[in-house]
Structure 1
Amino acid sequence: MCRFKRFVWLWGMFSLLSSSCKAATFDFATSQLLILSNGDKESAQAADYLFGHLDKRNTDRSKFRIQRSDTNLEGFRGGIVYVEIVEDLESDYEIINEEGRLSLFGRNRAVLRWLSYMLIDRLGDYHRLDIADIPPSYIDFKTGKVDFAFRYRDPHLQPNLNQDLSGILLTHNVDRDWGLWGHNLRKVFVEGIETEAMALVDGRRDSEQYCFSSEKTYQAIKAFVLEEYGRGPRDARWFMIAPNDNDKVCTCASCRKLGNTAKSATAAIVVLLNRLTKEFPLDYFYTTAYRTTREAPKIRLAERAGVLLSTIDLPKSPQLKMETPSVREFTTLLQSWKAQTSHIYLWDYISNFDDYITPFPVLRRVQRQLAYFKKMGVDGLFLNGSGYDYSPFDDIKTYVLSAVMIDPSLSVSDLVKRYHQRFYPVSADLLTSYLLEIEDRLDHNNSDIAIYSSFRQLMKYGLDADRFNKFYADLVLLEPQLSGEERYRIKRLIDVLSYTKLQLDYHQGNLANGFLEIENDMCRFSNRNDLFIRRLRESQKEGITNYKEEKGSINLYLREWEQLKSSVIPVNKFKISKASGISSGELLDEAHLLSDNKLGFVSDFNQGWLLAGEDIRAIGHNLNKRQGPVRLEMRFLLNPRHRMYVPDRVELWNGGIKIMEFTSSDFVLLQDIATLKKDVDLSDHTDLEIKIYKSKELKNSVIACDEVQLY
């Protein structure tokens, strides 16, 4: 450290003396390079790392010679890269760029590893280095002291699970860096929760919540940390000390004395966090601002303690309108916590959890919101994405998001272009133009696309079907021209995007465009999308397993298609005109689903089902020409987790007169489907009004109906 201070002082004096003329800078094209450190263990290891990874990539040693030493080599003529770890550095890293010497200072080896790859890529502009597998550098190596915009940076996408890549990008990873995450405090009670560690709720000990002032709770956490990680020396770990996901709060005498109320457990938890930071000064201890810990504490958190807030209720539009109630409420919450801690992390969202595969623009939205987050005191981000599952463009998203969390001023367009040029040399223009086009459209429209969006919503608010179809077709045409890793990646992209092609076919397909075919008054699906089904099945061989968060198996999705393809149903003679809520009178935009001749997917309530949270009225026409009874058939999805139950009753009306009624006992239940199937005489009834009354089992139950059939 003394050498560092002496070096900086001398360099500063030199700068003052030479300020009257333009200073010369380091020549990256130098034919000889010496990697130098001050010789201390950590710095020497960092220098060895840079030397080893640079030297092994040097493909022309006759023109570029690299040496390594901890002392200046007598007679050496060339450029020197000096590397030093300075634990108490005032900034995250510092660069001093002068003639003949480039000095890199970082707080730890992780920072210097990241700087090493940035430098290797920069040197690759001047020398024959094998850098095909290194993400492009985005720092200019000018003299300066730099702090990262955010201390904790975790893009939760599949590429970031790769520890080597995470090191190159200088990102964090929830599986690697957190000893406890989420609502998992139960893990510390290895032999079960002792009574004294249970919350006292309404005068009784409750095993579903914890007493955070209990010595037993503290000792259990302490024992867990020591058993799993020891005291060190080791890398720092983060620990989430959060209540179970319920509204129970301990109100024992000790917790109440610390400040707990019947609705808030924040006080006792913050005291516990502060105590743990003293016990384990290497580590970080966080809680969540959620449910019983949403309210900020009245005391300040310790330096290595903090809070995690979710942005679930914050609009997912690039430009936040500060006057909207949701933004004002979130700002107030942030400010209340900012008053008591310097460490606020956000749990943000970067995927559509109802559809991991259909392209979902997030880069410009995240970048634009970073300025607001930074202003509000946020210093860490967990960007929750498709995580362990593949999603299209997850590699470029991981790279860009990791970069803008370090420096939000970087150009997203430039990062996207340079990354694609590096890893997709032939298809770069095609990929870049499409990705930036959908990003720019979202940015221009300031669209707020929900993180749980059905495909119908995506078509309405975000997805340009014609543009996607052209992109897909261009990829298919380009694939034969590719080779190696690029061909593998593009083939995988084509295969998995066949899901979106199938989705478009399902939602846009009808009798007129050939998606459905009629023979002998029976309706069936055509074979025009068999190629997309085969390609999507191929994606499973490439490790693609899920297309959404819940019940999202691609294998299950393909089985649904097989079921549809093998089914033949009578042509529906009921033609829907409109549907509305009986109480609200609001029209239902998706009323057409009730007579489109397409059955819904049993495994996915967003696929073909009309959803309504109130009793509904459907108005349409009976197109049957024959006299006598016809078959009425209605299907309803049963999904208790999402409050979908058998309707209380169904009524048929004509001309303001109720002509028949069916109750829940008339339905046939088979696994997840309730079917009403009755022969009815509608000979004199052309205009029909069908009223569907939702289940009374639950106040906020939901109707899910895919088809009202008459045949």
Structure 2
Amino acid sequence: MPNYLTLLLTMLLTHLSGMSPAAPVELANNGKSAYKIVIAPSANAEELQAAHIFQSYFKQVTSVQLPITQSVSEPDQPYISIGETSWTKVENAPQAYTIEVKAGKLQITGGKRKGVIYGVYTFIEEILGCRKWNANEPAVCPRVSNLTIDSNLLIHSKPAFEYREAYFPAEADDEYLDWHKLHRLDDLWGMWGHSFNQLVPAKRYFRDHPEYFSFYLGERRPLQLCLTNKQVIKIAIATIRKKIKEHTNAIYWSISANDDVGTCECDHCSKINQREGGDQGTLIRFVNAIAKAFPERIFTTLAYGSTSRAPLHTKPRPNVYIFLSSIDAYRTRELENEKSAAAFNRNLKDWEKISSHIFVWDYYTQFTNYLAPFPIIPTLQPNLNYFKQHGVSGVFAQGSGYDYSNLAELKQYLLAKLLWSPEQDVEKLTDEFLQGYYGPAAQYLRQYIDLQRDALVKSGAQLDIYGNPVGDWNTYLTPEMMDRYSMILDSAEIAAERQPELWKRVNRLRLSDEFAYLQQSRFYGRDRYGIWQTAKDGSLSLKPRMQQRVDRFYQACKQNGIDKLNEAGTTIDQYKNEWAWCFHHPPAKNLASEGTIREMTSPFVAEYATKGERTLIDGMYGFDDFSYNWLCFYGSPLQCTLDLNATISVSHVKLNFLEDQRHWIFRPEQLIVEGSLDGEHFYQLGELTTSPLAEDYTIQKIPLAIAFKQQTLRYIRVTAMPQAKLPLWRGHKTKKPMLACDEVWVSE
């Protein structure tokens, strides 16, 4: 609770009593104190921990080591009581706390689940003036010789959300979590997330009992469970009973579908899901059956993908909590007003009608590129207020986990404050953090954050959690805007240069823009802002200082402990190796680069087409990310006609295709190349059929080349036919095979 609320409470109490303000209570004076810390003889582990935390920080601030005792020899003796004692009876809800001065004695009490620890850290921050700005860094404390507090001090606070997790590097710092009243899923859940394979493991049961698993696309598959099979329910209950014995302190247990397709389509499951309006029907009935067997336990279930909607008839039991995901929404605007969040908003309101226990799984970073700029700060508060208004009682704010990401320090700090009390002044909190953590660079970083956010909103770009900085080269990350951001960050570094620790923090923040620059430079390729420069003879060479810039980025990441760059686990070493490959493999000369795309008969996927149809003749190859220099065709052929803009000799045409089976991207079945002089009459130059597909989830680039006797041509038509259907191992009722091609390479 902010200091100004404490002052208001003090003024109110004084006014109501009709008395003059009482003399302040002196806790320490010139290295001495008459006070001691008192805990009950029966103090629990949390109360004992809280007493030692108070003792440690009190000493850091005042240089006074207060003794910890379990008794008070004289009733009038000054003391600081921590936790419940025989003389401090205060009712606190779970996680809530009370800080109060009575008759010159300071009392800090709290409810179950760390309430007293939260109260002590609130005193340390609000009264002692200490700050824990970032995880895995020590708190900053003032030094005072005289410490007094108001004799009418009274602070009582309880959380807006019972479950609060900011899944950022804060997860690795126990003190940061307790200081900022955050949770960690491993501490609360006995079984987390997508759990069907834990309840009834396919490796153990599928061979002998395929009927336990989903009937999908005409056969039993070990993708999901058959939720109407009574034996499956018995096995799941037995598994939970065993796990409860192993995790006696767990509060929640997740009963959720695997993170894959394959909902059971057997007659029994289909009948229920049809009546309930979707796959959530059998899921909620299954979870209810388990919850009924353990009425004293709390079970969470993911409302995600095909189970996002509320069932039409079945209500969750009182000990079943719905965990609703907002994964499909873009992040430019607050969710309440975001068009792409319409389904989430509808689902939230429908679940609210039938359940009083809803958690939300929300998203706060770009998972394909952790370091990419992701300016969402102004949406934090309205989203959390919106959740609270609709009965949400817990939030999993998924960031980059234990790995660093764009503005992780600020995001986790603001989320912690707002998850406890979402009505706080977020602008004030932001300025407080920037000033406290970056010192003289704060004003420039505030300017940088605001400018980037304004540019995003004005551009109308869709901020995607699975995006790439190359996708915003013409929105809020244009070359002109990137230059403006860089100039502001230059000023921030200059302001902090006399304080090495602050300069290092600014430099770490700057890695986001440096990453965006590097990503875009490969995207631009041989264009003005690309990594290559063209000599008079048409050959390509690396632009000066490009390699040094990559090396600096790599070293800065290493110095800041940054290893993984995305959710898939790409490391900074792998990223550097990818760059090293680029340095030694300049793009080949492409005769089509001087031409145009005359005709494109099938629509490409506009969402990933950052250069549009020009992607196929920009003279630049693609990378492992399908949104990075690839033109994609969903369920349709790639068929385009190139106009070389001159009659030239050609003997070779090559196309590279991406295969990323995890994202339903496959090589074509067939490639046909045709030529023409007039653009009207085409004849075949060659064709090939690709090898049969095999299950393989590694990302591959597959070159398909057709060589022929040298021909004089002006027009070339290429046709790549997609796979006729998805392979069995990637079967999906609504997905289609997608093609991804980076370039049509034409050579003599």
Distance 1:126 1:639 in 2: 50
Q: Determine if the alignment matches structure 1 residue 133 to structure 2 residue 138.
A: yes
Cα pair distance change 1:522/1:356, threshold 3 Å? same
SS state at 1:286 partner: strand
Does the Cα contact within 8 Å between 2:118 and 2:181 map onto a contact in 1?
Answer: yes
| Residues 263-662 of structure 1: pairs in structure 2 closer than 5 A | 263=279, 264-278=281-295, 281=296, 283-288=298-303, 290-291=305-306, 294-296=309-311, 298-320=313-335, 324=339, 327-425=341-439, 427-439=441-453, 441-442=455-456, 448-463=462-477, 464-471=481-488, 473-474=490-491, 481-484=498-501, 486=502, 489-490=505-506, 492-493=508-509, 498-508=514-524, 510=526, 512=528, 515-519=531-535, 520-538=537-555, 539-540=557-558, 542-550=560-568, 552-574=570-592, 575-578=594-597, 581-583=600-602, 589-601=611-623, 603-613=624-634, 614-615=636-637, 621-622=643-644, 628-629=649-650, 631-641=652-662, 642-646=664-668, 648-653=671-676, 655-662=678-685
SS state at 2:657 partner: strand
Provide the TM-score with structure 1 as the length reference: 0.81
Does the Cα contact within 8 Å between 2:97 and 2:116 map onto a contact in 1?
Answer: no
Cα pair distance change 1:170/1:210, threshold 3 Å? same
Structure 1 residue 27 displacement after superposition: 5.4
Distance 1:372 1:384 in 2: 17
SS state at 1:597 partner: coil
Cα pair distance change 1:385/1:87, threshold 3 Å? farther
Cα pair distance change 1:247/1:425, threshold 3 Å? same
Does the Cα contact within 8 Å between 1:183 and 1:242 map onto a contact in 2?
Answer: yes
Structure 1 residue 570 displacement after superposition: 4.6
Distance 2:645 2:598 in 1: 18
Distance 1:61 1:134 in 2: 11
Q: Which string of whole-angstrom CA distances, capped at 9 and with x for unpartnered residues, describes residues 650-687 of structure 1? A: 444554414343555188999622232535756563xx
Q: Output the amino acid matched with 1:108.
A: K
Percent identity over paired residues: 19
Unaligned runs of 5+ in 2: 1-8, 143-149, 693-698, 726-735
**Comparing 90-99 with 445-454, which one deviates more in the overlay?**
90-99
Distance 2:575 2:691 in 1: 25
Structure 1 residue 186 displacement after superposition: 2.6
Cα pair distance change 1:619/1:151, threshold 3 Å? same
Q: Determine if the alignment matches structure 1 residue 153 to structure 2 residue 164.
A: yes
Distance 1:366 1:62 in 2: 37
Q: Which string of whole-angstrom CA distances, capped at 9 and with x for unpartnered residues, describes residues 303-360 of structure 1? A: 3321111112334233346595x54433332233222221111111111122111221
Q: Determine if the alignment matches structure 1 residue 179 to structure 2 residue 172.
A: no
Q: Which string of whole-angstrom CA distances, capped at 9 and with x for unpartnered residues, describes residues 347-402 of structure 1? A: 11111122111221222223222222222221111122222322132122112112
Does the Cα contact within 8 Å between 1:156 and 1:386 map onto a contact in 2?
Answer: yes
Distance 1:25 1:183 in 2: 58
RMSD of aligned Cα (Å): 4.6
Q: Output the amino acid matched with 1:305.
A: V
* Partner residue in 1 for 2:740: 703
Structure 1 residue 248 displacement after superposition: 0.5
Cα pair distance change 1:553/1:375, threshold 3 Å? same
Does the Cα contact within 8 Å between 1:355 and 1:548 map onto a contact in 2?
Answer: yes
Cα pair distance change 1:117/1:313, threshold 3 Å? same
Cα pair distance change 1:312/1:662, threshold 3 Å? farther
Cα pair distance change 1:460/1:110, threshold 3 Å? farther
Q: Determine if the alignment matches structure 1 residue 192 to structure 2 residue 207.
A: no
Q: Output the amino acid matched with 2:740.
A: I
Does the Cα contact within 8 Å between 1:644 and 1:704 map onto a contact in 2?
Answer: no
Does the Cα contact within 8 Å between 1:310 and 1:346 map onto a contact in 2?
Answer: yes
Distance 1:542 1:299 in 2: 50
Distance 1:457 1:237 in 2: 42
Cα pair distance change 1:559/1:339, threshold 3 Å? same
Distance 2:34 2:409 in 1: 32
Distance 2:113 2:42 in 1: 11
Structure 1 residue 146 displacement after superposition: 3.7
Q: Which string of whole-angstrom CA distances, capped at 9 and with x for unpartnered residues, describes residues 230-270 of structure 1? A: 388x53432111234421056669x9799889953135324
Does the Cα contact within 8 Å between 1:349 and 1:383 map onto a contact in 2?
Answer: yes
Does the Cα contact within 8 Å between 1:469 and 1:501 map onto a contact in 2?
Answer: no
* Partner residue in 1 for 2:251: 237
* Partner residue in 2 for 1:93: 96
Does the Cα contact within 8 Å between 1:331 and 1:376 map onto a contact in 2?
Answer: no
Q: Determine if the alignment matches structure 1 residue 49 to structure 2 residue 67.
A: no
SS state at 1:403 partner: helix
Unaligned runs of 5+ in 1: 1-10
SS state at 1:345 partner: strand
Q: Output the amino acid matched with 1:643.
A: I
**Comparing 548-557 with 32-41, which one deviates more in the overlay?**
32-41
Distance 2:595 2:56 in 1: 69
Does the Cα contact within 8 Å between 1:573 and 1:624 map onto a contact in 2?
Answer: no
Cα pair distance change 1:691/1:478, threshold 3 Å? farther
Cα pair distance change 1:136/1:198, threshold 3 Å? farther
Distance 1:376 1:18 in 2: 36
Does the Cα contact within 8 Å between 1:34 and 1:80 map onto a contact in 2?
Answer: yes
Distance 1:142 1:479 in 2: 38
SS state at 2:466 partner: coil
Does the Cα contact within 8 Å between 2:196 and 2:224 map onto a contact in 1?
Answer: no
Match among 684, 701, 706 for residue 672 of structure 1: 701
Distance 2:504 2:325 in 1: 37
Cα pair distance change 1:195/1:507, threshold 3 Å? closer
Structure 1 residue 622 displacement after superposition: 2.8
Distance 1:567 1:668 in 2: 27
* Partner residue in 1 for 2:225: 210
Does the Cα contact within 8 Å between 1:47 and 1:83 map onto a contact in 2?
Answer: yes
Q: Which string of whole-angstrom CA distances, capped at 9 and with x for unpartnered residues, describes residues 197-234 of structure 1? A: 925859998755435566655554455455445388x5
Does the Cα contact within 8 Å between 1:33 and 1:80 map onto a contact in 2?
Answer: no
Match among 99, 104, 123 for residue 127 of structure 2: 123
Does the Cα contact within 8 Å between 1:201 and 1:249 map onto a contact in 2?
Answer: yes
Does the Cα contact within 8 Å between 2:632 and 2:739 map onto a contact in 1?
Answer: yes
Distance 1:316 1:257 in 2: 31
Distance 1:60 1:635 in 2: 63
